[in-house]
Structure 1
């Protein structure tokens, strides 16, 4: 089950985010670059919120998200359920215990790498739904951006290459659109069986619990219309969110649909300006119904506006001899805002039989569109592959250590289907690891800028071993670094890789992905940190070198604390005691180093030892390798031993040890 199943509800409104932009240029990671260009929003804090963080500014065009539609367990829409119009918010805190006021710390949106900004993660998002007297709050699992596109908006000039459409210094993000799919976990004891909303009660009954007693919800957020140009004061850092929420089973994919895929017609340099560029759409066939998620597949005429008119769209199967599926429909705001961007059509018995082994396609009544093909003189705008074979990655974003001899490994799960049914034969799957060398088309930077990409020492470092999964149709790539890949620059101490998957017997991706790459839904991206020896007695020069890139590229962080200043670093490495300033806050109350030393004070070590999904974790980019992190923590610990010892909490003889926080890529 997923957000595509019933019962479900959808919400529409604004989101706020402010990723810093100074880290978007690879040339800024060169030591010779001492005054990097600011780009659009250098002062961003990487917040992601359903609240307007700049609400105190005048004339803000922020629309708080509300529920716009809801469907009961039988798929019937409701106009009277109390869910309709209910506000949906984010708490913008990591939570708190013992009744203490939680700290303000919105979720963080973070790129994987300067060369791969298309798989940004959201960490620490907490969703809040208020329906009458019922308030449900749940933490969303960290999730990765998927299906990112930069042609959401119809161009006003044209598709010619010289227009650099979508990639201009300003404006590109307002043309972008992408999807986040994840799981929201709501403590079962906070969700009453009788909430006052019949659909909400049905949703509670339809979903499952995890081992921690949380009820699981599937959520898909489609984000578009984002404006990051500061002189757009009214909508600066604001975009549109369309989200759909449904039941989630513990065995379901968390971040993708293990179903089927309709490829859309994309615009090319030879197209006229008014030709639409349409993205792919996931779809499912269940219970004699086809459900197609078009939320990310459509175009708009302006950022954040309603879908572009595509005429009457008709769904067909195979050679079309079984007739139109259901009735033709139109792409309008009723489909988008009042149906979650999902169209559901009934299948006849004959169509259901044909769907088991034949591709779907969508044709338009507008004759002027250049389609993928034509059917009855109608342009075909979306088409399933002739084999019905589809691969969907559930995990797409990785950070791995390379410190030998035990670098650790990470599993990357993906699902394989044919005509929507699980594929269990691993021999049908091929994969390959591609380092990010110059002209690799999967990178998100223009190589015309002269960027260097990976160093030659990175080739062959990342190993991906195909393994069976735990569910039918699920497989795993076990990722590990088999040697030190080296660094790209002294300030970019890692290498980037793309892992591509495809059906055996079909053409493989080209060398270095120079002339194209598989659909991003079938790719994983991984950063492998260069090896680093833990130093238990580092000096200030070593720490300053590790910190200087953050000082240079993240002004919002630097404004709070100058990590390149030795006196500042010393003060905040030793003060304050955690039990005084962070009492009853979520997360570890102390930190135990591998040496056995216990850290229980200092602002810097406190924020650097939060868990990976805690929005307070520093550095924000989560790009400090485990051994580099430990080196910094040893420096903080040594400073603490040279000063007045931290007193134990009242009533205790000594700070109590706790488990060390988890960080992706840490040594086993």
Structure 2
């Protein structure tokens, strides 16, 4: 089902991402060399980078429902027809905001959203409310805008599920909400694209960006973080150390769903078309169409992609719908699809051919500790349908973290090799395969940075793959190979952070100066808003005097937005060590309370 299925809604608005950026630089993790200037604003990767006083908050702002599509495939933008149109997609109103968190300073290209609540409603009235399951962004496109640079010109996408749903009985006469609840009462699918992010400290829109997306039904049996549909991956070239769509193509990734029941194809172009200008207008001026490729340049036109109408992107959430007859639907199910440019002479110039054989890891970001294991779910498809009895090959990839994670190879990543897993797993009748990954202790290979970060590359047996490599030349410029990719998405790999272990005695009986203070000092350095405005975690007296509240927040699960540290990079062993230290302080305070009361009484 997922967000492309009906009934679905589209929405548009703004988001806020307010991370602290002190921890963007690996050198800032070194307590011995940390400088006060690292907590000050600094442009272009200097000092504490662009937002040292960030809160970590992630928020939805002024997100309005712009259209709904019913189960029969009909769509309306008119609130007189369905009153949910014009209402809001909102985050929490009774607890703190969700959090935006990098996996690691050497893997900043899978930033995750934790602890976000999503509500469909108006003001304080909720019609449905649930928890957005944590996920990292994917398919980052660094040069989406032809006029904006850096993060302001980039885009990326998030897709996850909203679970633990709470449907209100305070209903309105919304056909859409009634259909959605009937079809998907337990879980919803949500996808959104973010772009136009403002990192300019003096701007009124600082830490704000644009968001468009869709919410639809979801089945528990299907992937949570991508659609088992038709996948379009452009040819890419390496420019400046990053893989980008070739200039000839000028388009990025897209996903389509062939919906036989309504005889429609729904195509998500939310992160596919270039933009320009301060308002992020779609700048694609070719006549893009969708076609069936029957082979040997035998194309059958399915229809135009209507994206040029004013405010199409916001009103339709980046989605295009083609309504087809029975014959064309049959062709679309039988043959690969192509996004093409319709030339003036009526011929088609193919731009992106569908990736016919496709495999994707559902969850692709993991935090692990020694002696823990994780199951990674893969789904394989052929023309969007489950592909059974196919081997998914999985292997270490030493260079991808540096290529895609914004690192420069220092300190070294992906070493030592402490992950154990089978080299391949085979898909079942539903196209699903499960890979179990086990971790052991990396033993502190990066010194002042806890643990080690790894990349696992995967692909279908007998399908195209790539042997990535990353080096730095004498001038400090990255050298990435291969220079070109065809039908291969370099962002589709698995990122795993494995934390270091601590000796059992240190965990059980920690010493403040030797064991606890260095950890707390690092967090005080890297998250200055906390140490300046709430608790100076590096100060023993402050920690001891606030042991009860600190124990509460350090013990919260990572999914809770109040979890400490907000960066979610505290290992299992260090968490236990800190909790044991705080428990010791609380026990001393409790034991000392009667004696203190007796002293007070005696003095009076």
* Structures share fold, TM-score greater than 0.5: yes
Q: Do 2:234 and 2:249's aligned partners in 1 also have CA atoms closer than 8 Å?
A: no
Equivalent of 2:372 in 367, 386, 408: 408
* CA offset digits 1:605-626 (Å, max 9, x no partner): 1101111210000011111111
Q: Do 1:92 and 1:125's aligned partners in 2 also have CA atoms closer than 8 Å?
A: no
Equivalent of 1:555 in 528, 531, 536: 528
Q: Do 1:155 and 1:274's aligned partners in 2 also have CA atoms closer than 8 Å?
A: no
Give secondary structure in 2 for the equivalent of 1:413: strand
Distance 1:173 1:93, change over 3 A: farther
Query: 1:129 deviation in Å?
Result: 1.9
Instruction: Give the aligned partner of residue 195 of structure 2.
Output: 224
Q: Do 2:393 and 2:423's aligned partners in 1 also have CA atoms closer than 8 Å?
A: no
Distance 1:71 1:87, change over 3 A: same
Query: 1:520 deviation in Å?
Result: 4.4
Equivalent of 2:571 in 625, 650, 656: 625
Distance 1:283 1:455, change over 3 A: closer
Give secondary structure in 2 for the equivalent of 1:227: coil
* Greater Cα offset, 638-647 or 5-14: 638-647
| CA–CA distance in structure 2, aligned partners of residues 297 and 70 of structure 1 | 22
Equivalent of 2:272 in 297, 313, 322: 297
Structure 2 residue 210 is the aligned partner of structure 1 residue 240: yes
Give secondary structure in 2 for the equivalent of 1:636: helix
Structure 2 residue 313 is the aligned partner of structure 1 residue 336: yes
Give secondary structure in 2 for the equivalent of 1:136: strand
Equivalent of 1:515 in 469, 477, 481: 481
* CA offset digits 1:124-172 (Å, max 9, x no partner): 111222259654322211122111121111147xxxxxxxxxxxxxx52
* CA offset digits 1:612-652 (Å, max 9, x no partner): 210000011111111111011111111111112599xxxxx
Distance 1:65 1:494, change over 3 A: same
Give secondary structure in 2 for the equivalent of 1:479: strand
Q: Do 1:154 and 1:273's aligned partners in 2 also have CA atoms closer than 8 Å?
A: no
Q: Do 1:154 and 1:276's aligned partners in 2 also have CA atoms closer than 8 Å?
A: no
Instruction: Give the aligned partner of residue 138 of structure 1.
Output: 130
| CA–CA distance in structure 2, aligned partners of residues 556 and 366 of structure 1 | 56
Q: Do 1:266 and 1:278's aligned partners in 2 also have CA atoms closer than 8 Å?
A: no
Question: Which segments of 5 or more consecutive residues in structure 2 lack a partner in the other structure?
Answer: 39-46, 471-479, 594-604
Distance 1:452 1:380, change over 3 A: same
- After TM superposition, the score normalised by the length of structure 1 is 0.77
Q: Please show how residues 247-266 of structure 1 align to structure 2 within 5 Å.
A: 247-264=217-234, 266=236
Instruction: Give the aligned partner of residue 47 of structure 1.
Output: 57
Distance 1:466 1:281, change over 3 A: same
Instruction: Give the aligned partner of residue 411 of structure 2.
Output: 452
Q: Do 2:411 and 2:446's aligned partners in 1 also have CA atoms closer than 8 Å?
A: no
Structure 2 residue 586 is the aligned partner of structure 1 residue 640: yes
| CA–CA distance in structure 1, aligned partners of residues 161 and 214 of structure 2 | 12
| CA–CA distance in structure 2, aligned partners of residues 39 and 74 of structure 1 | 50
Structure 2 residue 282 is the aligned partner of structure 1 residue 311: no
Cα RMSD of the aligned pairs, angstroms, is 2.9
* CA offset digits 1:527-566 (Å, max 9, x no partner): 0112222321111111001222211111112122111111
* CA offset digits 1:217-261 (Å, max 9, x no partner): 1111111111122012x1101001112011111212111111221
Query: 1:441 deviation in Å?
Result: 2.0
Instruction: Give the aligned partner of residue 404 of structure 2.
Output: 442
Structure 2 residue 99 is the aligned partner of structure 1 residue 108: yes
Structure 2 residue 64 is the aligned partner of structure 1 residue 66: yes
| CA–CA distance in structure 2, aligned partners of residues 265 and 85 of structure 1 | 39
Indicate the structure with greater strand content.
2
Instruction: Give the aligned partner of residue 128 of structure 1.
Output: 119
Equivalent of 2:512 in 537, 540, 564: 540
| CA–CA distance in structure 2, aligned partners of residues 460 and 110 of structure 1 | 25
Structure 2 residue 451 is the aligned partner of structure 1 residue 499: no
Instruction: Give the aligned partner of residue 599 of structure 2.
Output: none
Give secondary structure in 2 for the equivalent of 1:241: strand
Q: Do 1:227 and 1:237's aligned partners in 2 also have CA atoms closer than 8 Å?
A: yes
Instruction: Give the aligned partner of residue 160 of structure 2.
Output: 182
Query: 1:187 deviation in Å?
Result: 3.7
Q: Do 2:31 and 2:521's aligned partners in 1 also have CA atoms closer than 8 Å?
A: no
* Greater Cα offset, 24-33 or 512-521: 512-521
Query: 1:93 deviation in Å?
Result: 4.3
Equivalent of 2:108 in 109, 117, 123: 117
Q: Do 2:154 and 2:196's aligned partners in 1 also have CA atoms closer than 8 Å?
A: yes
Q: Do 1:435 and 1:459's aligned partners in 2 also have CA atoms closer than 8 Å?
A: no
* CA offset digits 1:423-459 (Å, max 9, x no partner): 12143x211122459x842332245xxx222274x13
Give secondary structure in 2 for the equivalent of 1:223: strand
Instruction: Give the aligned partner of residue 172 of structure 1.
Output: 150
